[in-house]
Structure 1
Amino acid sequence: MAFAAVSPVAPKLVQKLGLEKTLLIAVVGLAVGILVRSLPLPGIIWVGTACIGVSIAVLNVSLPVMVKRDFPARIGSMTGIYSAVQGGFAAMAAGIALPLASASDTGWRFSLGVWAVLAVVTALLLVPQARTSTVGGGSGNLPQRRKAINPWRSSLSWQIAAFMGVQSLFFYTLLAWLSPIEQSFGISAETAGFHQFLFNLGSLFGSLLCTALLPKTHSIRPLMLFMLALWIVSLLGLLFFPELAVIPAFTGGLSCGTFFVLALSLFGLRTRHHVNAGALSGMGQSVGYIIAAAGPLAIGALHDATDSWSLALWLLVVLGLIEVVLGVMVSRDRYID
Structure 2
Amino acid sequence: MSPEQKQKYFLIFVIILISLNLRPSITAVGPLIAEIRESTGLSNSLLGLLTTLPVLAFGIFSILTPLFTRKIGTEGTMAFALFILTAGTLMRAIPANLALFGGTLLLGVGIALGNVLLPGIVKKKFPKRAGLMTGIYSSMLGVSATVATGISVPLSQGKGLGWRWTLGSWGFFSALTLLVWLPQLKSNMSAIMKKSFRTSIRDLGTSKLAWHVAIFVGLQSLTFYTLTAWLPEILIERGIDNIHAGWLLATMHGVGVIGTFVTPYLVSEKPSQQKSVLWIVFFEMISLLGLIVPLPFWGVVIFISIIGFCLGGSFGLALLFILLRSRDSDSANELSGMSQSIGYTIAAVGPVFFGALFDWTQNWIIPLAFLFLVALLKLKSGWEAGKNQYV
Which residue of 55, 75, 83 maps to 1:20? 75
Does residue 231 of structure 2 align to residue 178 of structure 1? Answer: yes
Q: Distance in 1 between matches of 2:362 and 2:195?
A: 55
How far the C-alpha of 1:146 sits from its partner, in A, is 6.5
Give the TM-score normalised by structure 1. 0.94
Unaligned runs of 5+ in 1: 137-142
Counterpart AA for 1:322: L
Tell me the SS of whatever aligns to 1:252: helix
Does residue 197 of structure 2 align to residue 129 of structure 1? Answer: no
Q: Distance in 1 between matches of 2:275 and 2:294?
A: 27
Tell me the SS of whatever aligns to 1:43: helix
Q: Distance in 1 between matches of 2:248 and 2:379?
A: 26
Does residue 128 of structure 2 align to residue 73 of structure 1? Answer: yes
Q: Distance in 1 between matches of 2:140 and 2:175?
A: 17
Checking the alignment, whether the CA contact within 8 Å between 2:215 and 2:381 is kept in structure 1 is yes
Counterpart AA for 1:279: E
1:170-194 Cα offsets, whole Å, 9 max, x none, are 1101111100011112211111111
Does residue 193 of structure 2 align to residue 144 of structure 1? Answer: yes
> Aligned runs of 1:200-211 on 2, under 5 Å?
200-211=253-264
Which residue of 313, 316, 319 maps to 1:261? 316
> Aligned runs of 1:321-332 on 2, under 5 Å?
321-332=376-387
- Over 3 Å counting, the alpha-carbon distance change for 1:264 and 1:319 in structure 2 is same
Does residue 213 of structure 2 align to residue 160 of structure 1? Answer: yes
In the alignment, what sits opposite 2:42? none
In the alignment, what sits opposite 1:287? 342
Which residue of 29, 32, 37 maps to 2:84? 29
1:53-72 Cα offsets, whole Å, 9 max, x none, are 11100001111111111112
| Bigger mean CA deviation after superposition, 245-254 or 197-206 | 245-254
In the alignment, what sits opposite 1:82? 137
Q: Distance in 2 between matches of 1:223 and 1:215?
A: 10
Report the aligned-residue RMSD.
Answer: 1.6
In the alignment, what sits opposite 2:50? none
In the alignment, what sits opposite 1:213? 266
How far the C-alpha of 1:215 sits from its partner, in A, is 4.4
Unaligned runs of 5+ in 2: 1-55
Counterpart AA for 1:145: K
Checking the alignment, whether the CA contact within 8 Å between 2:134 and 2:261 is kept in structure 1 is no
Which residue of 99, 107, 115 maps to 1:60? 115
How far the C-alpha of 1:216 sits from its partner, in A, is 5.2
1:307-328 Cα offsets, whole Å, 9 max, x none, are 1111000111111111111121
Q: Distance in 2 between matches of 1:319 and 1:180?
A: 20
How far the C-alpha of 1:260 sits from its partner, in A, is 0.7
Which residue of 357, 361, 374 maps to 1:319? 374
Checking the alignment, whether the CA contact within 8 Å between 2:264 and 2:320 is kept in structure 1 is no
- Which of the pair has the greater relative contact order for Cα pairs under 8 Å at 6+ separation? 1
Checking the alignment, whether the CA contact within 8 Å between 2:142 and 2:257 is kept in structure 1 is yes
In the alignment, what sits opposite 1:103? 158
Give 4+ residue runs of structure 1 displaced > 4 Å after superposition: none
In the alignment, what sits opposite 1:199? 252
1:68-126 Cα offsets, whole Å, 9 max, x none, are 11112222221111011121122112121111112344411222222112101110011
How far the C-alpha of 1:222 sits from its partner, in A, is 2.1
Tell me the SS of whatever aligns to 2:127: coil
Counterpart AA for 1:256: L
Identical pairs, percent: 36
Checking the alignment, whether the CA contact within 8 Å between 1:209 and 1:258 is kept in structure 2 is yes
Which residue of 185, 188, 201 maps to 2:241? 188
- Over 3 Å counting, the alpha-carbon distance change for 1:215 and 1:290 in structure 2 is closer
Counterpart AA for 2:280: M
How far the C-alpha of 1:251 sits from its partner, in A, is 1.2
| Bigger mean CA deviation after superposition, 214-223 or 50-59 | 214-223
| Bigger mean CA deviation after superposition, 294-303 or 148-157 | 148-157
Q: Distance in 1 between matches of 2:181 and 2:207?
A: 34
Give the TM-score normalised by structure 2. 0.81
Tell me the SS of whatever aligns to 2:90: helix
